[in-house]
Amino acid sequence: MINLKGVCVAVLLLSFSTTHAQVNSNKQGASFKFNSTDVEIQFYSPSIVRVFKTPVNKPYKKSSLVIIKTPDKTNVTQQREGSNLILRSLALKVVVNETNGSVVFYDLSGKQLLKDSTTTFTPKEEAGSPSYNVKASFVLDADEPVYGVGQVMDNKFNRRNSKYVMKNENTFTYSPYFMSVKGYGVYWDNYSISEYADSPGNLSFQSLGHCADYYFMYGKNADGVIKQIRSLSGKAPMLPLWAYGFFQSKERYTKQEESLEVLQKYRSLKIPIDVIIQDWRYWPEFNGTDSAWNSQRFDTDRFPNPKKWVDDIHKLNARLMIVTWPGFGPKTDQRKELDSKKMILNFDTWPPKSGARPYDVFNPEALNIYWKYLNERIFSYIGNDGWWLDSTEPDHINVKDADFDVPTHLGSYRSVKNAFSLMHNGGIATHQKAASKDKRVVLLTRSGFVGQQRYGSNTWSGDVGSTWEMLEKQIPAALNYTLMGIPNWNSDIGGFFAGRWNKEGGAKNPKYQELYLRWMQFGTFCPMMRSHGTEVPREIYNFGNRGDWCFDGQEKMINMRYRLLPYIYSTSWDVSHNDGTFMRPLIMDFAADAKTHEIGNQYLFGRSVMVAPVTKPEVSSWPVYLPASTTWIDFWTGEQLAGGQTVNKEVPKDIIPMYVKAGSILPWGPAVQYSGEKKWDDLDLRIYPGANGRFTLYEDEKDNYNYEKGSYSTIDISWNDAKKELTLYTQKGTYPGMLVSRKFNVCLVKPGLNIGMQANTAGKVVNYNGRQVTISFN
């Protein structure tokens, strides 16, 4: 059980004056009093330092909702030089100045990384209890780019010279975290409605709480920082293979036959699909009202046999994801029980005028009650495959200032609001995993917070509008979000609110068709590829027939997604096992190229394929920056291009700019109608020459948690560019049903040959039995 005096704010409290600090060193750090502040510095590892501050004589016991790591035993040497105490680990040097109370972080070469400026505690009464406004400021280099902060729809990538009220709402998802291009990150451990502000020479967080508590992480590069924030807050688990297929949804399928008909049409058209999603109001109404909102029961008229419904979905080789909300109408059993135990937050949530109110996700017993009903009425009853967790901010209807004073199990709602999604996702994920190890947890959620990656959550960008401007804003928002260590993100393909298009022909309107197709191209290269929205139905057959440009363009991208599944699933393993990232902004791999520091509209999907989604209508070409020090190969033509230049790529409506790093080894899977239809016993391996390269092909049972016990296999593959040799190394690991032999069709990509969506027409066939083999292309 977590107790709220543990909800705090992260920042530093150092005033610059002539007061002399009394510094006491210990094995893993130091503590001191300076002016009116107690400061403790503790190494959590050689690369991670926690700084914890409280007003003097106001000790505070902190229990974090995010941090699950306990400090490693770390060798810290200590040295005094004049008024400085120098703490040194194998990765960092931290200098505490006894004269002015400053704490400065350096790398071991002596390069200054970050300096705290001031931290202030201003007394404040919070919902009738004493608290503080805590403000901490940091000094950065004047021209130092930083990223993170969250998913913000302002079309900015670099977060310098920006100000945000950090209050999680529909389409805006914040965490008090930033990452520098210099290779360090800061997470301020606080969940209250907060402020982020940056101006020349001063970056600050201001929050509500009883302490300033932050973690400085030095990873040398973005990958290193992400590795460290996950070491602090939890690693990302594997999702099942089907979670990387195509999802179809709408607001909403009203009866069980409707979603089955959608799947049957996709199957008859031979358009790949893996998941159908059931949105709200599958439950019965109460006297024509929403007072039974989210009862988690099925309406007997519209869903007369929900178990058979899900069985029929599974017989069509598809999966069901079903929505559940954090709020309950007053006529539901859940609301009555939670109300009786004072586990309901006393403000209105969605839908309006329903009387629905959210439950107290900060109360462990409330999480148990929520799962009890969800399991009995849905999971153990119908055997659904995933959860759509809508409104996880949550929605707040008829907002009043007093609503934020509402008590939760951990204090005022204001003091913990931003962690609502983290706790709600965590309650469902941990309960499901405890109930079943046969199905990996898959969550689609509308909000997020640092640490949520440990629950298998995939955040979507919320109810965004169907406009070109909003499509453009998705990309930097997604990249900043994933730089916080949360790898899974997606958006409603085509935008959610499409009313303006519905009045102008809907899916038959060529202008909307172009927007939708460009959005689908972007969605193909997101961790989840999901079509959803209101007003305009998004199923592919609503856009025309095979032979129509919009239909064919969608089919092309959906097929692209499925052919890339071996690459995507192996990337998922890299994310889980190596703390990798799906959507990699260019600063992750090319930070030395200063031109990448402001580029937030293109990225690498995995470690090999760079995409630059088209976000303007009626364009014939699209500018793409090719980062320096790398040779790039046009996916569609095979043309080799030098890095360090901007090229204008011709972009007919069915083409998204795609460039592959030289040295990449790209596995190309079979044409399938669903993710698990065919074994990967006959894969193409596309080799993109021009540099040495490596790739690890990962395989397992496609679902369940046996991989956590070592039930999986990997095949390391390397390309020696000078020798023109490809080596398939001995297969490692084993799992039930593992292939013992297979065929690889190895193709050396050249201009005009074996490129784009074409099948392998020339190359070398390798019969592989799990033992090392080398193929020469000399």
pLDDT tens column, 111-137: 999 999 889 999 999 999 999 999 999
Is there a contact between 218 and 251 (Cβ–Cβ < 8 Å)? no
Which pLDDT belongs to residue 1? 33
- Kindly tell me if the per-residue pLDDT of 754 is higher than 80: no
The rounded mean pLDDT for the chain is: 95
Which pLDDT belongs to residue 762? 67
Average pLDDT over residues 458-478: 98
Dihedral (Cα; 463, 466, 467, 469), 10-degree rounding: 30
pLDDT grade, residue 35 (50/70/90)?
Answer: confident
Which of 31-40, 51-60, 107-116, 752-761 has the least mean pLDDT? 752-761
pLDDT grade, residue 20 (50/70/90)?
Answer: low
CB atoms within 10 A of CB 223: 18
Q: Cα separations (Å) of 3 from 65, 187, 769?
A: 10, 21, 56
Which pLDDT belongs to residue 758? 75
Sort 143 into a burial class: Cβ within 10 Å, 0-12 / 13-18 / 19+.
exposed
Residue type, 207: S
Which pLDDT belongs to residue 24? 81
Q: Regarding predicted confidence, which is higher, 440 or 8?
A: 440
> If DSSP codes are grouped into helix, strand and coil, which group holds residue 558?
helix
Q: Regarding predicted confidence, which is higher, 118 or 523?
A: 523
Longest dimension (CA), the chain: 81
Alpha helices (runs of H) in 180-235, residue ranges in sequence order: 222-233
Query: Domains in the chain and their CATH numbers?
Result: 4-233 (2.60.40.1760), 566-778 (2.60.40.1180)
Q: Tell me which residue of 10, 86, 83, 2 sits closest to 50, measured CA to CA.
A: 10
- Kindly tell me if the per-residue pLDDT of 238 is higher than 90: yes
Average pLDDT over residues 681-709: 97
Which pLDDT belongs to residue 99? 83
Report the alpha-carbon angle 26-30-31, nearest 5: 115
- Kindly tell me if the per-residue pLDDT of 760 is higher than 80: no
Where is 429: in which H helix or E strand?
A: helix 420-435
Average pLDDT over residues 765-773: 98
- Kindly tell me if the per-residue pLDDT of 17 is higher than 60: no
Structure tokens at 664: 């990449």
First to last CA, the chain: 64
Average pLDDT over residues 291-316: 98
- Kindly tell me if the per-residue pLDDT of 510 is higher than 90: yes
Which pLDDT belongs to residue 699? 98
Residue type, 512: Y
pLDDT grade, residue 23 (50/70/90)?
Answer: confident
Which pLDDT belongs to residue 462? 98
Spacing of C-alpha 748 from chain mean position: 34
Which pLDDT belongs to residue 2? 36
Q: pLDDT (tens digit, 9 = 90+) per residue, 134-193?
A: 999 999 999 999 999 999 999 999 999 999 999 999 999 999 999 999 999 999 999 999
Is there a contact between 534 and 251 (Cβ–Cβ < 8 Å)? yes
Catalytic residues: 390, 393, 463
- Kindly tell me if the per-residue pLDDT of 680 is higher than 60: yes
Which pLDDT belongs to residue 12? 32
Q: pLDDT (tens digit, 9 = 90+) per residue, 82-110?
A: 999 999 999 999 999 888 888 999 999 99
Peptide bond into 585 cis (omega under 30): no
Which pLDDT belongs to residue 755? 73
Q: pLDDT (tens digit, 9 = 90+) per residue, 329-371?
A: 999 999 999 999 999 999 999 999 999 999 999 999 999 999 9
Using a pLDDT cut of 70, give the percent of the chain over it: 97
- Kindly tell me if the per-residue pLDDT of 666 is higher than 70: yes
- Kindly tell me if the per-residue pLDDT of 8 is higher than 80: no
Average pLDDT over residues 290-310: 98
Cα gap 612→395, rounded to integer Å: 33
- Kindly tell me if the per-residue pLDDT of 262 is higher than 60: yes
- Kindly tell me if the per-residue pLDDT of 15 is higher than 80: no
* Total residue count of the chain as it appears in this document: 778
Which pLDDT belongs to residue 778? 86
